[in-house]
Amino acid sequence: MIVGLRSLVTRWTAVVPVAAVVLLVFTWGRDLPGAVVALVTLVLAGAVLAAVHHAEVIAHRVGEPFGSLVLAVAVTIIEVALIVTLMADGGDKSSTLARDTVFAAVMITCNGIVGLSLLVGSLRHGTAVFNPEGTGAALATVATLATLSLVLPTFTTSKPGPEFSTAQLTFAALASLILYGLFVATQTVRHRDYFLPITRQGEEHTPDSHAELPTTRDTRLSLGMLALALIGVVGLAKGVSPTIESGVEAADLPHAVVGVVIALLVLLPETIAALRSARRDQVQTSLNLALGSAMASIGLTIPAVALASIWLSGPLVLGLGATHMVLLALTVVVGSLTVVPGRATPLQGGVHLVLLAAYLELAINP
């Protein structure tokens, strides 16, 4: 019975990513009728669940923090490709696309995923425990990248408007790559123990010894299926975006809400994986996913759009407005206070979720 169930799960998680990519090929760039939109949404949900499954297989094989790094980087690389594609097609009206997408990712990960993980972990296990050294280093890197890339352009004077000059954009791109590279080296090599799940006695969390490690063949298959699933998730999310836009316009909401909805869809795999880890009392893994995704979103998107700006026409607006800068500053301050003790109660999770709710409310009612 158990073997049959595992076989069914394996077949399902292998078929859905392929089906998502095939559906993407047939629907890309086309106006979709309502029935097809419903099908796309169903396959999109399946691709999200398949991506989480394959990410967990890889994580079990390679261990933490490599597992969370694989999922965060894979999602971000595909997201960056989508941003550059949309910017190439959109002209001047896409000048704020990179800024809006990156900021939405930062708020969703640093407040939404972090808040939900802390809330679930603390409600289920009394308190949520994690390593403040590793989490603090990740939060500091996210705060620095966000300030250099999204705040400073509002105050520079070399070009009119919230834009970087070519030299400033080059510096921001190089600084983003260097900081992200330093963090990955710290996380995976030099101070890997700072990013491993810990027990309530402060010791490293020992993986379940009864869980059999996936074979090399299964791991490679999951790696390929993860890539297909994530391509399907991001591509199909783009495919349903016209329907989302129509719904937003019909509801008389600001156009920025479309970017928020698409960011929520793209970040679903990390969200589900983080919540599963929190339920298993591995909140450190959840925080690795959340902050790693925020960091990768900035550290890879800014260099990519800087390179793309060489041949793209139109301005590249990166600077945040006053309201969003306040939300970013509050997120960094609250995040720092959350990280310092190395443990959290439902209160801290609730505070982060309220910050996310404030961001969503201001997106709807600016």
The tens-digit pLDDT sequence of the chain (366 residues) is: 444 445 544 578 888 888 888 888 888 777 777 788 888 888 888 887 787 778 778 877 777 667 667 777 777 776 777 677 666 665 566 677 778 888 998 999 999 999 999 999 999 888 999 999 999 999 999 999 999 999 999 998 888 778 888 899 999 999 999 998 899 888 888 888 888 887 665 455 545 444 567 788 888 888 888 888 878 877 887 777 677 767 777 878 777 777 687 778 778 878 888 898 899 888 998 999 899 888 888 888 888 888 887 777 777 888 899 999 999 999 999 999 999 999 999 999 999 999 999 999 998 888
Nearest to 238 by CA among 24, 4, 19: 24
Dihedral sign computed on CA atoms, order 11, 14, 15, 16: positive
Residue 342 φ/ψ region, left for φ over 0, alpha for ψ in the -120 to 50 degree band, beta for the rest? left
Residue 297 CB partners (closer than 8 Å, separation 6+) = 76, 79, 101, 102, 105, 106, 109
**65 prior amide bond cis, ω within 30:** yes
CATH H-level superfamily of 91-205+253-364 = NCX, central ion-binding region (1.20.1420.30)
**pTM of the prediction?**
0.81
For 118-133, how does the pLDDT look when each residue is reduced to its tens digit (9 = 90+)? 999 999 888 999 999 9
- Provide the H-helix boundaries in 186-282: 216-239, 241-250, 256-266, 268-279
Q: What tokens does 354 get?
A: 């309220």
Nearest to 49 by CA among 259, 300, 275: 275
Check if the beta carbon of residue 78 is closer than 8 Å to that of residue 230: yes
* Average pLDDT of every residue of the chain: 82
CA distance 82 to 66: 24
CA distance 190 to 176: 20
Give the distance from CA 51 to its chain's centroid: 13
Task: Identify the H or E element spanning 129.
Answer: strand 128-129
Name the residue type at position 331.
T
Name the residue type at position 350.
G
Nearest to 76 by CA among 297, 242, 233: 297
> Domain locations in the chain?
91-205+253-364
* 3-state SS assignment for residue 128: strand
Percentage above 70 pLDDT, the chain: 87
For 90-121, how does the pLDDT look when each residue is reduced to its tens digit (9 = 90+)? 556 667 777 888 899 899 999 999 999 999 99
* 3-state SS assignment for residue 343: strand
By the 10 Å C-beta count (0-12 exposed, 13-18 middle, 19+ buried), 13 is classed as buried
Name the residue type at position 344.
A
Q: What is the pLDDT of residue 2?
A: 44
* 3-state SS assignment for residue 49: helix
